[in-house]
Amino acid sequence: MPENSTEQMQEFMDWLIPTVSEMGLDLVGAILVLMIGFWIAGRVRSWIRKALDKLPNFDDTLTTFLASLMRYVVIAITLLAVLNQFGVETTSFIALLGAAGLAVGLALQGTLSNVASGVMLLIFRPFKIGQFVDVAGHGGTVKALSLFTTELATPDNVQIIIPNAAVWGSSVKNFSAHPTRRCDITMGIAYDADINKAMDVLKEIWSKDDRVLSDPEPFQAVANLGDSSVDIAVRLWVNAGDYWGVKFDLNKAFKEGFDANGIDIPFPTRTVHTVKN
């Protein structure tokens, strides 16, 4: 073998052996960093889940989301440490990731807005699963609440999916938030009817209904002198679950009570005058 070739081979081996040795050490270090990083990520997720599970009003969906988010944050830091182990300039890489994240954020700002709104809904809990609400122009029973959408079911069982940004950005009327509700019923009687007798009939009917609560005290009074009737307002407090049953039943009972006692319920009338030319 020529002398030049021997010298070149020797130089190559002199370069290769230290390089492989150094890379081998870097590779072992990178593997160790990865193993430790993934272990820490799992421990962080487990620790966050256990800590948040101890909070009685903290939602399971939000717990899972935050625990997974922190796990991915630790994994991202671990990958940057591995790149740094191989001599990769992580500063420029982080800047590149930041620019990419900004671009993705602008492209998905609507989706991210729903996620942010979902987190706020899960934290502050203006309503819960199973409650009847009026939100974003829709009324229904809450069936599901995720990070992106809120699902309602209307009284006739129609599914409504509302983006969380629309829910968080609007007023929420929660009909199930309190254990009791006030049931308002207005009955109109003729002007020539006996008002006191009509009110006694109404009181006799609602006082026999066990679903009507005594505290707060029931109330009834003449509410309005209408165009064709004297309007008597009846305001009764009932358990929230009894609201519609009481309202429907008493509407029927009040009408039957008036009929039995000869109290007329008028309806609008018009007098038409014809002029003959």
Say if residue 33 is in the same domain as residue 91.
yes
CATH number where 189 lies: 3.30.70.100
Quick check: is 10 in a domain? yes
pLDDT by residue for the chain (277 residues), tens digit each?
Answer: 455 556 555 555 555 455 545 555 566 667 777 788 888 888 888 887 888 777 766 666 667 667 777 887 888 788 777 777 666 666 666 666 666 666 655 554 567 788 888 888 877 888 888 899 999 899 999 998 887 889 999 999 999 999 988 999 899 999 998 999 999 999 999 999 999 999 999 999 999 999 999 999 999 999 999 888 999 999 999 999 899 999 999 999 999 999 999 998 887 766 677 777 6
Calculate the CA dihedral of residues 59, 175, 144, 43 and round it to 10 degrees: 0
Quick check: is 271 in a domain? no
Say if residue 101 is in the same domain as residue 24.
yes
**Who contacts 251 (Cβ-Cβ below 8 Å, separation ≥6)?**
185
Quick check: is 267 in a domain? no
Quick check: is 199 in a domain? yes
CATH number where 13 lies: 1.10.287.1260
Say if residue 251 is in the same domain as residue 190.
yes
Range of the domain at 251: 180-260
Quick check: is 151 in a domain? yes
Quick check: is 115 in a domain? no
- Say what the pTM is: 0.63
Name the domain count of the chain: 3
